Structure 1
């Protein structure tokens, strides 16, 4: 049996190029998501990395720093990528410049002192 109503309903629409508009419409949500991710995640992270690189390149003798291991200290000598950092009681350690996580405006008040109770 042949049902002309069903054949008409399954036939592609007459006239017009529906493929190009459909492809662009299908990609639009992906493009929009990428733009949102770029401005909310990627761009701020790139700015933060740039500021950190600038801070690392500007390190000099006498700066107070916080290392990646959580140790506060003062730079006593800079030799390329190697920093000699005084961490208290005339104890000097050598660290790589890349392991400085931040500049320390001031060390904790009880830094270098034992826990006296």
Structure 2
């Protein structure tokens, strides 16, 4: 009759905790590389974008995620701004949709 053959560890005994650590080192190294190449730059971009939209004020020329380029005429509240995209054409836009501030303008003076 045939007896099944199984692969056995070299040395007879189980590898022990050091073999497990040696096997996990490449996975830990991959996680560290992923953190520095992917996650950390993404967090930095998110912080920069949050600062960018937080500091938008009247007179700034901005670009929205939809591709509209306009000038901020009014900051409605913490969530919205009003853009002038053409003479006498104003739209309200959610702040988080602003992707770029092209030029910082001086704030428009209030008229009495």
Q: TM-score normalized by structure 2?
A: 0.78
Q: Which runs of 5+ in 1 are unaligned?
A: 1-9, 107-117
Q: Which residue of 2 aligns with 1:5?
A: none
In the alignment, does 2:91 pair up with 1:93?
Answer: yes
RCO higher in structure (CA 8 A, sep ≥6): 2
Structure with the larger strand share = 2
User: Residue 82 of structure 1: CA displacement?
Assistant: 1.4
Moved over 3 A (4+): none
Which of the pair has more CA radius of gyration? 1
Equivalent pairs counted in the alignment come to 96
In 1, distance between residues paired with 2:52 and 2:40? Answer: 19
In angstroms, what is the RMSD of aligned CA positions? 1.9
Q: Structure 1, residues 58-80: CA drift from partner, whole Å, max 9, x if none?
A: 01111110011001000000011
Q: Which residue of 2 aligns with 1:47?
A: 44
- Range that drifts further, 18-27 or 65-74: 18-27
Q: Which residue of 2 aligns with 1:114?
A: none
Structure with the larger helix share = 1
CA contact (8 A) 2:9 2:15 kept: no
Q: Which runs of 5+ in 2 are unaligned?
A: 1-7, 105-112
In the alignment, does 2:70 pair up with 1:76?
Answer: no
